[in-house]
Amino acid sequence: MSLQIFELVLFTILAAATPLVIAAIGELIVERAGVLNLGVEGMMICGAATGFAVAILTDSSEIGVLAGILAGMALAALFGLLTIFMAANQVATGLALTILGLGLSGLIGAQFIGLKRESLGHLYIPLLSDIPLIGKLVFSQDVFVYAGWALVVGTAWFLSRTRAGLTLRAVGENHASAHALGIPVRKIRFLAVLFGGACAGLAGAYLSLAYTPFWAPGMTAGRGWIALALVVFASWRPLLAFAGALLFGGATVLQLHAQAASIGLPGQLLTAVPYAATIIALIILSLRHRRGGAAPASLGVGFVPER
Partner 1 sequence: MVSQAGKPLVAMRGIVKRFGAFTANDRIDLDIFSGEAHALLGENGAGKSTLVKILYGLLSPTDGEIRLEGDAVRFSGPQSARAAGIGMVFQHFSLFDNLTVAENIALVLPPGETLAGLDERIAEIGRRYGLRLEPARPVWTLSAGERQRIEIARCLLQDPKLLILDEPTSVLTPQEAETLFATLDVLRGEGRAILYISHKLEEVRRLCDRATVLRGGRVVATCDPRAESVRSLAAMMVGTHVVDVRSRGADALGPERLGVEKLSLTAEDLHGVALDQVSLSVRGGEVFGLAGIAGNGQDELFAALSGERTAASAGAIRIDGISVGREGINLRRQYGAAFVPEERNGHAAAPDFSLSENVILSRHATGDVMNGNLVDLPAAARLAREIISSFDVRASGVDPAARTLSGGNLQKFLVGREVSRRPGVLVLNQPTWGVDAAASAAIRQMLIDLARQGAAVLVISQDLDELFEISDRIAVIHHGHVSEPRATRKVTREEIGLLMGGASQHAH
| Closest CA relative to residue 155, chosen from 118, 199, 89 | 199
Beta bridge partners of 122: 142
Q: Is 180 in the site for partner 1 (CB under 8 A)?
A: yes
The length of the chain is 307
- Please identify which residue in 92, 107, 166, 283 interacts with partner 1, judged by CB under 8 A: 166
Q: Is 288 in the site for partner 1 (CB under 8 A)?
A: no
Q: Is 167 in the site for partner 1 (CB under 8 A)?
A: yes
Size of the site for partner 1 (CB under 8 A): 21
- In angstroms, the CA 42 to CA 106 distance is 11
Q: Is 260 in the site for partner 1 (CB under 8 A)?
A: no
> Strands, E, within 159-224: which ranges?
none
| Closest CA relative to residue 34, chosen from 155, 152, 188, 181 | 188
- In angstroms, the CA 255 to CA 278 distance is 13
Q: Is 153 in the site for partner 1 (CB under 8 A)?
A: no
- Please identify which residue in 174, 212, 235, 271 interacts with partner 1, judged by CB under 8 A: 174
- In angstroms, the CA 205 to CA 183 distance is 34
Binding segment (CB under 8 A) for partner 1, from list 7-15, 120-128, 176-184, 259-267? 176-184
- Please identify which residue in 114, 182, 264, 266 interacts with partner 1, judged by CB under 8 A: 182
Quote the least distance from Cβ 305 to partner 1, whole Å.
9
Nearer to partner 1, 1 or 307 (CB): 307
Integer angstrom CA distances of residue 85 from 46, 64, 103, 148, 185: 23, 30, 25, 30, 11
Nearer to partner 1, 261 or 306 (CB): 306
Quote the least distance from Cβ 241 to partner 1, whole Å.
18
Nearer to partner 1, 23 or 192 (CB): 192
- In angstroms, the CA 174 to CA 299 distance is 9
- Please identify which residue in 9, 169, 191, 259 interacts with partner 1, judged by CB under 8 A: 169
> CA end-to-end span of the chain, whole Å?
67
Please report the sign of the dihedral spanned by the C-alpha atoms of residue 275, residue 278, residue 283, residue 289.
negative
| Closest CA relative to residue 40, chosen from 108, 94, 83, 1 | 94
Q: Is 181 in the site for partner 1 (CB under 8 A)?
A: yes
What is the SS3 assignment for 89? Answer: coil
Quote the least distance from Cβ 36 to partner 1, whole Å.
18
- Please identify which residue in 159, 170, 205, 230 interacts with partner 1, judged by CB under 8 A: 170
Quote the least distance from Cβ 184 to partner 1, whole Å.
8
Q: Is 114 in the site for partner 1 (CB under 8 A)?
A: no
Residues that bind partner 1 (CB under 8 A): 163, 166-167, 169-170, 173-174, 176-183, 291-293, 297, 306-307
